[in-house]
């Protein structure tokens, strides 16, 4: 169906006669999909359709045929509830699907049927945009503020890649821009402040946030809870701030994006004044337009205001697909093809760098990446696992140039600093550094790591385990997105000692283990740390948390106990009763494994047959076949003791209904470690007594 351009246009200063029809197509697709689903958020897609349209159609460097082209511009919908805006754009621009293994598939990412099935089982248009599920979605959004902070990571990775890969004659090999669209909610969330502060500190000029300043959130007008001057706030951070007084004015949008593209030193914030539910006669400018369908009658009246056929549903008028194809599609393809041509010439001149770029983009590792790993001799005093981890990380990072990361101001404690020559610090003015300084901003750090990982660099972040809570939301999203982000969490128990209960993690281990898809590894000694890093580096689709001690732990004598390579199976028999056939199982992770080994020696001396199981990763162990699991956790042996200086939550799964878990049932306390271990019962005597009690119980 063709749509006549009415005398009362809804869009100001169009560049092309079809601009208005295209914008109203986006609006009405959103309205119709949400009405059909009887669920969703129509107001913001209706209001921001001109902004999304203008950006995609005239600014964004994005080839719908190849939505994973490495130098594409990124668009992040931080206001994830406005997902229909993105789905409409993905549909109308004809973005193609890509497989999990980065193969381009011919079919559309978002066919019209998917929009018709918005929010329904298995539709490519879920309630909020999901990375990996819908091609062209650059990151999963919905938890407000996450998209903004993630976009900082994408921009950071772009600057790092430019510094690393660009060469004379190829100074624009990597020069992508990152756009993120947010609303009042994102602006209110603390994470946006953390991320904005960092983006300005790093002077990321390739970052553009678009703020939908509609003064409405769920409870009503933002005057209820938000009165700061956002422009002044961002100027204070050091951003380039510009305004668009009318979301429907394409000239104003053009000028604002032009301001961004000219900026060389600062991130840009475009504040767009818009009217939520624009064009809906009874719902515009009200919170009623935010999160519920307009209702059949209001839909009709709104369409009338748009000069749209009132009864048409999911209408894409004649010429709309073609207009997107001829503008954004053609431009994107030319840019993408030219880029791959440049990469071919680059490969001829810089074969090693080109190989790195390829491997990085395919999440492969360089040949020989694990050739320089240390092995640690047995040592009764041993070393803190955070220290051995620092050595291992540095050995790996020297071989994997795109492994980068840092800490929320705790690198001297978490031992995550890369100390070798040329590792450098990522800072404004020198983007080649691989040590990232997040300042004391755990929440933004997590989301920035996600952004870096989405650009396919390997990212790690570190901090005290206790503060993982501050960064938990992005960890969860990394797992949901299947991103191989690495977290190094140290000071992992009451072993922290004198800092006391505020700094002693209790429930954090259990709560990380509860996140689906996250691999949690708590290695027992230096050699298990080596094996843990080997496992982690090989992950493609899972984030991993390596949980490490502040205090020294013995380096176990592997001539006497089994090899640390058993860690790869998640849990393994470390020490066995003489001749096999144990009567009692002792299981532990991390610093408590050595304690169990001592208890085992004592029990053996008393003629009691015990087995020690080192259990660094529940997730990996649970993934082994039943035969292996049963060979480690002998089903017939019900006398079982677990030991972990953390909440006992979850251990029942392994010790069984009648087993005993030695762990924490309260918060810790401020005292020297030895006193804490005595008071809370992490002693050889206690483990031995528990083992004996278990044997007694099992016999009767
Ligand atoms: C972290 C987080 N808290 C709460 C919500 C629930 N929520 C979804 S949208 C919204 C209001 C957002 O207002 P705004 O960003 O102004 O969006 P608009 O209504 O203008 O589209 C809230 C509270 C959420 N998605 N994420
Ligand atoms: Mg709002």
| Spatial CA neighbour of 55 closest among 77, 82, 34 | 77
Ligand with an atom nearest the CA of residue 213: 2
The three-state secondary structure class of 385 is helix
Burial class (CB in 10 A: 0-12, 13-18, 19+), 259: middle
Measured CA to CA, the distance from residue 387 to residue 110 in angstroms comes to 48
Pick the atom of ligand 1 nearest to 183's CA.
15
Residues in the chain: 700
Euclidean distance between the first and the last CA atom of the chain, given in angstroms as a whole number: 82
Contact 77, 41 (CB under 8 A): no
Q: Which of 442, 576, 619, 644 is catalytic?
A: 442
Which DSSP helix (H) or strand (E) runs through 257?
A: helix 250-262
Q: How do residues 448-472 score in pLDDT, each as one tens digit?
A: 999 999 999 999 999 999 999 999 9
pLDDT 10s digits, 275-328: 999 999 999 999 999 999 999 999 999 999 999 999 999 999 999 999 999 999
Mutate to test the pocket of ligand 1, among 52, 82, 185 (most ligand atoms within 8 A of CB): 185
β-partners of residue 489 are: 463, 547
Edge to edge, the sheet with strand 610-614 lists: 572-575, 610-614, 584-588, 640-647, 660-664
Over residues 500-538, the pLDDT tens digits come to: 999 999 999 999 999 999 999 999 999 999 999 999 999
DSSP string, 42-96: -HHHHHHHHHHHHIIIII----TT-TT-TT--EEEESSGGGHHHHHHHHHHTTPE
Q: Please give the backbone phi and psi of residue 549, each rounded to the nearest 5 degrees, phi first.
A: -90, 155
User: Residue 104's pLDDT is what?
Assistant: 84
Distance of CA 239 to CAs 198, 311, 421, Å?
A: 11, 46, 33
Q: Which of 81, 129, 211, 225 to mutate to test the pocket of ligand 1 (most atoms within 8 A of CB)?
A: 81
- pLDDT 10s digits, 621-655: 999 999 999 999 999 999 999 999 999 999 999 99
Mean of pLDDT values over 216-220: 97
Q: What is the pLDDT of residue 100?
A: 81
CA-nearest residue, atom 19 of ligand 1: 217
Over the Cα atoms of the chain, what is R_g?
28
Quote the pLDDT of residue 367: 98
Distance CA 24, CA 145 (A): 28
In this structure, the residue with its CA closest to atom 25 of ligand 1 is 143
For residue 460, give the 3-state DSSP assignment. strand
Q: Which atom of ligand 1 is nearest to the CA of 214?
A: 20
Cα 216 to averaged position of ligand 1 atoms, centre (Å): 10
127 confidence band (pLDDT: 50, 70, 90): very high
Asked if 485 contacts 519 with a C-beta cutoff of 8 angstroms, the reply is no
| pLDDT band (50, 70, 90) for residue 8 | low
CA of 83 to the centre of ligand 1 (A): 12
Closest ligand, as measured to the CA of 185: 1
**Which atom belonging to ligand 1 lies closest to the Cα atom of 189?**
1
Q: Which residues are found with C-beta within 5 Å of the ion, ligand 2?
A: 183-184, 214, 216
The yes-or-no verdict on residue 6 having pLDDT over 80 is no
Distance from residue 267's CA to the centre of ligand 2 (Å): 22
Structure-block tokens of residue 171: 């100074």
| pLDDT, tens digit (0-9, with 9 covering 90-100), for 253-265 | 999 999 999 999 9
Pair of tokens at residue 225: 């809870």
Rounded CA-CA distance 554/571 in Å is: 19
Asked if pLDDT for residue 359 goes beyond 80, the answer is: yes
**Nearest residue (CA) to ligand 1, atom 11:** 217
Closest ligand 1 atom to residue 142 Cα is 25
E strand residue ranges, 556-673: 572-575, 584-588, 610-614, 640-647, 660-664
What's residue 3's pLDDT? 65
The three-class DSSP label of residue 567 is: helix
What share of the chain has pLDDT > 70, as a percent?
A: 99
Taking only the tens place, the pLDDT of each residue in 406-423 is 999 999 999 999 999 999
Please determine, for residue 7, whether its predicted confidence score (pLDDT) is greater than 60: no
| 4 pLDDT above the threshold of 80 | no
Cα dist from 686 to 594, 595, 660, 670, 690, whole Å: 14, 10, 11, 22, 6
Instruction: Give the per-residue pLDDT at 700.
Output: 83
Residue nearest atom 9 of ligand 1, based on CA coordinates: 81
Q: What would the mean pLDDT of 217-235 be, rounded to a whole number?
A: 97
Q: How many whole angstroms from 268 Cα to the centroid of ligand 2? A: 20
Ligand 1 pocket (Cβ < 6 Å) reads 43-44, 79, 81-82, 142-144, 183-186, 189, 212, 214, 216-218, 276, 290
Q: Give the number of the atom of ligand 1 that is nearest the alpha carbon of residue 79.
A: 15
Half-sphere exposure of 227 (CA within 13 A, CB side): 3
pLDDT score at 222: 97
If you measure from the C-alpha of residue 217 to the centroid of ligand 1, how many angstroms do you get, rounded to a whole number? 6
Note the pLDDT of residue 101.
80
33 Cα: distance to centroid of ligand 1 (angstroms): 20
The confidence band for 61, taking pLDDT boundaries of 50, 70 and 90, is very high
For ligand 1, the distance from its centroid to the CA atom of residue 218, given in whole angstroms, is 7
Mean pLDDT over the full length of the chain: 97
Q: Which ligand is nearest to the CA of 189?
A: 1
Q: What is the mean pLDDT of residues 355-380?
A: 97
Any idea which ligand is nearest the CA of 277? 1
> Residue with the nearest Cα to atom 13 of ligand 1?
217
- Parallel/antiparallel/unpaired status of strands 216-217 and 220-221: antiparallel
- Render pLDDT for 157-195 as a digit per residue (tens, 0 to 9): 999 999 999 999 999 999 999 999 999 999 999 999 999
| Residue 37 pLDDT exceeds 90 | yes
Q: Is 442 a catalytic residue?
A: yes
From the alpha carbon of 143, which atom of ligand 1 is closest?
Answer: 26
Q: Report yes or no: 204 and 154 within 8 Å, Cβ to Cβ.
A: no
Name the least confident of 31-40, 99-108, 198-207, 542-551. 99-108
Q: Is 430 helix (H, G, I), strand (E, B) or coil?
A: strand
Provide the percentage of residues in the chain whose pLDDT is more than 90.
Answer: 97
């Amino acid at each position: 169906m063709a749509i006549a351009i009415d005398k009362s246009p809804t869009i100001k200063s169009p560049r092309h006669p079809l601009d208005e029809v295209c914008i109203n197509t986006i609006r009405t697709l959103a309205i119709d999909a949400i009405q059909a689903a009887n669920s969703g958020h129509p107001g913001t897609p209706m209001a921001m359709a001109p902004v999304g349209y203008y950006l995609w159609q005239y600014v964004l460097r994005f080839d719908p045929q190849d939505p994973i082209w490495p130098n594409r511009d990124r668009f992040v919908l931080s206001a994830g509830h406005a997902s229909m805006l993105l789905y409409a754009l993905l549909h109308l621009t004809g973005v193609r699907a890509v497989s999990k293994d980065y193969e381009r598939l011919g079919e559309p990412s978002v066919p019209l049927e998917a929009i018709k099935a918005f929010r329904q089982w298995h539709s490519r248009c879920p309630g909020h945009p999901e990375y990996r599920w819908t091609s062209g979605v650059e990151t999963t959004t919905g938890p407000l503020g996450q998209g903004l902070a993630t976009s900082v990571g994408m921009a950071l990775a772009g600057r790092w890649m430019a510094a690393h890969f660009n060469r004379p004659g190829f100074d624009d090999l990597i020069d992508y821009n990152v756009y993120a669209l947010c609303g009042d909610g994102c602006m209110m969330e603390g994470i946006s402040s953390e991320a904005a502060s960092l983006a300005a500190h790093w002077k990321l000029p390739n970052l553009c946030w678009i703020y939908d300043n509609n003064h409405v959130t769920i409870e009503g007008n933002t005057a209820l809870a938000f009165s700061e001057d956002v422009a002044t706030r961002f100027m204070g951070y050091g951003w380039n701030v510009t305004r668009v007084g009318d979301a429907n004015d394409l000239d104003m949008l053009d000028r604002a994006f032009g301001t961004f593209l000219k900026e060389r030193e600062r991130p840009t914030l475009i504040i767009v004044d818009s009217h939520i539910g624009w064009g809906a006669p009874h719902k515009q400018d009200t919170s009623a337009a935010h999160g519920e369908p307009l209702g059949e009658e209001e839909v009709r009246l709104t369409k009338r205001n748009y000069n749209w056929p009132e009864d048409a549903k999911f209408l894409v008028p004649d010429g709309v697909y073609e207009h997107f194809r001829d503008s954004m599609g053609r431009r994107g393809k030319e840019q993408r093809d030219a880029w791959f041509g440049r990469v071919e010439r680059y490969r001829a001149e810089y074969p090693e760098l080109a190989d790195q770029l390829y491997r990085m983009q395919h999440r492969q590792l360089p040949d020989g990446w694990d050739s320089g790993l240390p092995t640690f001799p047995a040592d009764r005093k041993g070393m803190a696992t955070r220290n051995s981890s620092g050595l291992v990380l540095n050995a790996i990072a020297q071989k994997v140039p795109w492994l980068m990361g840092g800490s929320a101001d705790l690198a001297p404690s978490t031992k995550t600093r890369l100390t070798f020559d040329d590792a450098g610090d990522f800072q404004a003015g020198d983007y080649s550094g691989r040590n990232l300084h997040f300042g004391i901003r755990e929440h933004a750090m997590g989301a920035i790591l996600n952004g870096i990982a989405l650009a396919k660099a390997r990212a790690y972040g570190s901090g005290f385990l206790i503060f993982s809570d501050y960064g938990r939301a992005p960890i969860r999203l990394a797992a949901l997105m299947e991103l191989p982000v690495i977290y190094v969490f140290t000071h992992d128990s009451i072993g922290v000692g004198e800092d006391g209960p505020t700094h002693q993690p209790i429930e954090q281990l259990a709560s990380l283990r509860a996140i689906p898809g996250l691999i949690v590894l708590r290695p027992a000694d230096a050699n298990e740390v080596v094996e843990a890093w080997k496992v982690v580096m090989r992950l493609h689709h899972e984030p991993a948390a390596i949980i490490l001690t502040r205090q020294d732990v013995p380096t176990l004598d592997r001539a006497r106990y089994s090899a640390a390579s058993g860690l790869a199976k998640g849990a393994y028999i470390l020490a066995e009763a003489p001749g096999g056939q144990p009567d009692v199982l002792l299981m532990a992770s991390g610093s408590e494994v050595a304690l169990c080994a001592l208890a085992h020696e004592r029990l053996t001396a008393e003629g009691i047959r015990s087995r020690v199981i080192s259990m660094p990763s529940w997730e990996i162990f649970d993934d082994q076949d039943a035969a292996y699991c049963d060979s480690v956790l002998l089903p017939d042996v019900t006398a079982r003791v677990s030991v972990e200086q953390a909440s006992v939550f979850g251990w029942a799964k392994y010790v069984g209904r009648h087993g005993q878990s030695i762990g924490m049932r309260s918060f810790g306390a401020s005292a020297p470690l030895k006193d804490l271990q005595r008071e809370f019962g992490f002693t050889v005597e206690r483990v031995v007594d528990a083992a004996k009690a278990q044997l007694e119980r099992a016999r009767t």
